[in-house]
Amino acid sequence: MRFGSLTLKSNLFLSPLAGYTNLPFRLVVREVGGVDLCTTDLVNARSLLERNPKAFKLIETSPADFPLAVQLFGSVPGEMRDAAMYLESIGVASIDINMGCPVKKVVKVGGGSAMMTELDKTAALVKGMVKAVKIPGMTTISLLPIWRAHWKMSASLRFLYMAGRASKVLAAR
């Protein structure tokens, strides 16, 4: 399967799950088999740039943990771009932009599902990241009941396509 510039052995991915998709869990899932691309827990782009030890623990990896995608959250275009460039420089295979997390600490800084309320700003952020790195990326969107009433799926997916994301992942809840 082709995913941007990556050739994957499987069409099954390990999605990010906060508190679970750490290195030991990803290695166990890979050992069981069937999954090729695994994604980390969500990581705050600013924390990564500030070299926060907790952020580095979330992206901890090993040679057996490849290909690896890192899920970033944030709303500051420069921080998201710089974090993506850093991750590319250390060998991460893909970037996942979290646009679905409804958790208060993520949404209050404009990240996660809050990004779906400002599509023009979000499109500019995504375009900046796409231009800055060569590795493929994806966006993860969660459709919570509150968003279903206020959100036009086709328009939102169209803006992501136009922004240049390699893939969109929809997690309906």
Q: Which of 101, 129, 135, 169 is catalytic?
A: 101
pLDDT in tens, 69-115: 999 999 999 999 999 999 999 999 999 898 888 899 999 999 998 98
Structure tokens at 58: 């979330």
In the chain, the domains with their CATH numbers are 2-172 (3.20.20.70)
Residue-level pLDDT at 149: 44
Check if 38 is active-site. no
| Phi, psi of 95, deg, nearest 5 | -115, 135
Structure tokens at 22: 């750490």
Sign of CA dihedral 42, 107, 140, 89: negative
Strand 68-73 to 37-44 pairing = parallel
CA 64 to chain centre: 20
CA pair distance 138, 126, nearest whole angstrom: 10
User: Containing H/E element for 41?
Assistant: strand 37-44
- Partners of 137 in beta bridges: 95
| Per-residue model confidence as pLDDT tens for the chain (173 residues) | 888 888 899 988 898 888 999 999 999 999 998 899 999 999 999 999 999 999 999 999 999 999 999 999 999 999 999 999 999 999 999 998 988 888 999 999 999 989 888 888 888 898 899 889 998 877 776 655 544 444 444 445 555 555 555 454 545 44
Strand 137-143 to 37-44 pairing = unpaired
